[in-house]
Structure 1
Amino acid sequence: MFPLRRVARGFRSGLVQLAIGTAMTANAPLPLRHFLLALAVVAVWGTNFVVIRIGLNHLPPLLFATLRFCMVLVPMVFIVKRPAVSWKNLAAYGLLIGAGQFGLLFVAMKGHISPGLASLILQTQVFFTIGMAMWISKERIQGFQVVALLLAVAGIVVIAAHGGGAATPLGVMLGLLAALSWSGGNIVARQAGPVNMLGYVVWASLFSIPPLFLMSLWLEGWPAIVHGVTSASLGTWLAVAWQAVGNTMFGYAAWGWLLARHPAATVTPMALLVPVFGMSASALILGEGLPAWKLIAAALVLTGLAVNMLWPKVRTKFLAPA
């Protein structure tokens, strides 16, 4: 049994550190090459929701998630050295990101929410992270954070009220739970300290695969697993491979590389572009409509995220007393 008090203390420490990192302000912009790298990452992450939708045409969602992490693990586990973190930390991250974030996300996207809206709702992980940090560290919420949260909540309400075929109540709920799992994974990763993020993700996959496969076996059944694997087309396997290579290995490694060289407040606002790429790719490739209510919802959520991420920097730079 894990030492619960030690895990709780570490979790609290990670939350406090993440809250401090979120509140940082950055003075120097990203160099052009680093900006283009960050742009490439968010483009991959945004358009990846379309790739997920394509893969789900032939694979059950939990099996799809299982195969994704299998391709991350093998053969990279024999190439990349295990980072110097505890097995408990790797297990927590693998469970939260694997079974939590992507397991729930893939289930949601199997007919419950469109790729564009999924890319938007998943970004609410920012508010979950800050809320948990404040709850644990007993910090008081600031005025701009209340405004940011209300804007984002208004956007989610618009989605829930007008989703229709684009988002069911179950899809919205699963998307929010996936965002909550992602925020927990971020906190656990922060607790691990400065490690090789590629190796971290690869070795944490050891703990993502078993629960995902067991859930697939229980909820989707062995016949569906066999049929999904044997009937998958080349395009389906390319979608699985892209999940592992493009989204995980390139995306996480490049993002971690950028965060190791620049303040978090300089890099993380780039993530605001993920829903932009996600909704644009969904409209162009899958023909997902962009009615007025969806654009209003996107504007509300993205404005809330922008206020939360950028207001401290704007206040310091333009509103601080001379």
Structure 2
Amino acid sequence: MSVAISTPQGSLRTVLTTFGGALCLGGGWPVTKDAVLHGAAPLVFAEGRLGFSLLVCAAMLLIRRDIAWPRRADWPAVAGIGVFQFGGFFALSHLGLGLVSAGRTAILANATTIFIVPLTFLVLRESVPALRWVGAGLGVAGVAVLMLPAAGSGSALGYLLLLGAAFSWSLAMIMQRKYPPTLSMLQILPWSFGIGFVLLLPLAWHDAGPHPMPRAAWPDLLLVGAVAAPLGTWCVLDMARRLPPILASVLYLLSPLTGLLLSVAWLGETLDASLVIGAALILAGVAVAAIQGRPRRIPL
């Protein structure tokens, strides 16, 4: 499969999708945390994000007259994104965000490399260069450093939820790589958002209290759900479809950094030593894993 960044047009598109996804999705963590701090139920907020994103993507396709029913070959990717990214990732990451700071959430929820590397070997049957295993090891070390302050506290559960979210997202990326769809990412998104919406509905219903979405949280929901989530998700999924999973993870490095910096600057979160060292190890691991080496398909 050819990589799209080999042409000038592909390079420009890669840059735009990288920065667009980083700003929209990375900035979404502190905005979502702000809503939770105002009393929003995490899973209700996640369900609202999916609902608004579904409506926005469907409206865009209707305006362009480009909406299409997925073909048989598209359904593995549609289902993989819907179940693992919009179902599993959204549920676990929003629950984790209720227990962990937005900055740490931005880093841990994006620690996909520690799962992508072994999944590339086990599922895609591709050989993985030694440096990519080193990168995964650095990521594991970074996660351990980030979790040290949580020893004996309730936030340890939050960290485990966020690692589960990263694993679920990794499965979605692998599914797209193993079963590339024929439809565009924009055409796939409404169907995947719909699957995620249905899966999260009973969980959100259970999570809802007397006031699941206070008035002060609605601006955050509209910003993330109607603008940042659909646009940022399209950028990331397009990048994941066009590039190898590990390279896509590397180009997405700006997303957790954006989330971390905005959390410190806007929410006033503490940038302590464990956060700096842990984030540096995780991001360094992703960078090391990006060192190119042509993967070889392992015979079955």
Specify the TM-score bucket, using the shorter chain as the normaliser.
0.7 to 0.9
Return the letter of the residue paired with 1:120.
Answer: I
Cα separation, partners in 2 of 1:301 and 1:187, compared to 1, 3 Å: same
Partner of 1:195: 183
1:228 to 2:209 alignment: no
Deviations 1:78-101 (A, max 9, x none): 625135334853334212122200
1:206 and 1:33 map into 2 onto residues whose CA distance is: 27
Alignment of 1:68-107 (within 5 A): 68-74=49-55, 76-77=57-58, 79=62, 81-86=67-72, 88-89=75-76, 90-107=78-95
Deviation at 1:32, TM superposition (A): 6.0
**Identity, % of aligned pairs?**
23
Deviation at 1:283, TM superposition (A): 0.5
Maintained 8 Å contact 2:51/2:193: yes
Maintained 8 Å contact 1:159/1:167: no
Maintained 8 Å contact 1:117/1:166: no
Partner of 1:123: 110
Maintained 8 Å contact 1:25/1:263: no
Q: Secondary structure at the match of 2:145?
A: helix
1:37 and 1:137 map into 2 onto residues whose CA distance is: 25
Q: Secondary structure at the match of 1:134?
A: helix
Maintained 8 Å contact 1:25/1:266: no
Partner of 2:271: 290
Partner of 1:136: 123
1:39 to 2:26 alignment: no
How many residues in Structure 1 have an aligned counterpart in Structure 2?
Answer: 284
Cα separation, partners in 2 of 1:31 and 1:129, compared to 1, 3 Å: closer
1:47 and 1:173 map into 2 onto residues whose CA distance is: 22
Deviations 1:22-74 (A, max 9, x none): xx796678756863553233122211110110122332111111111111222
2:276 and 2:183 map into 1 onto residues whose CA distance is: 38
Deviations 1:283-303 (A, max 9, x none): 000111111221111111111
Q: Secondary structure at the match of 2:122?
A: helix
Partner of 1:181: 168
Deviation at 1:211, TM superposition (A): 2.2
Cα separation, partners in 2 of 1:138 and 1:95, compared to 1, 3 Å: closer
Deviation at 1:179, TM superposition (A): 0.6
Maintained 8 Å contact 1:109/1:118: yes
Cα separation, partners in 2 of 1:56 and 1:133, compared to 1, 3 Å: same
Indicate the larger mover: 69-78 or 296-305: 69-78
Maintained 8 Å contact 2:80/2:176: no
Return the letter of the residue paired with 1:232.
Answer: R
Deviation at 1:152, TM superposition (A): 0.9
2:239 and 2:79 map into 1 onto residues whose CA distance is: 25
Return the letter of the residue paired with 2:70.
Answer: A
Larger radius of gyration: 1
1:154 to 2:154 alignment: no
Deviation at 1:120, TM superposition (A): 0.9
Deviations 1:150-192 (A, max 9, x none): 2111111111112479982111110110011111112233324
Gaps of 5+ in 2: 295-300
Length-normalised TM-score, structure 1: 0.76
Gaps of 5+ in 1: 1-19, 314-322
Deviations 1:75-132 (A, max 9, x none): 643625135334853334212122200111000111x211111111122213312312
1:109 to 2:97 alignment: yes
Deviations 1:187-232 (A, max 9, x none): 23332424221221111122111221201223x25xx1x5224x33
Deviations 1:236-255 (A, max 9, x none): 22222222333332123344
Cα separation, partners in 2 of 1:76 and 1:146, compared to 1, 3 Å: closer
1:69 and 1:285 map into 2 onto residues whose CA distance is: 25
Q: Secondary structure at the match of 1:227?
A: coil
2:117 and 2:135 map into 1 onto residues whose CA distance is: 12
Return the letter of the residue paired with 1:228.
Answer: P
2:147 and 2:211 map into 1 onto residues whose CA distance is: 34
Cα separation, partners in 2 of 1:287 and 1:164, compared to 1, 3 Å: farther
Q: Secondary structure at the match of 1:74?
A: helix
2:190 and 2:129 map into 1 onto residues whose CA distance is: 37
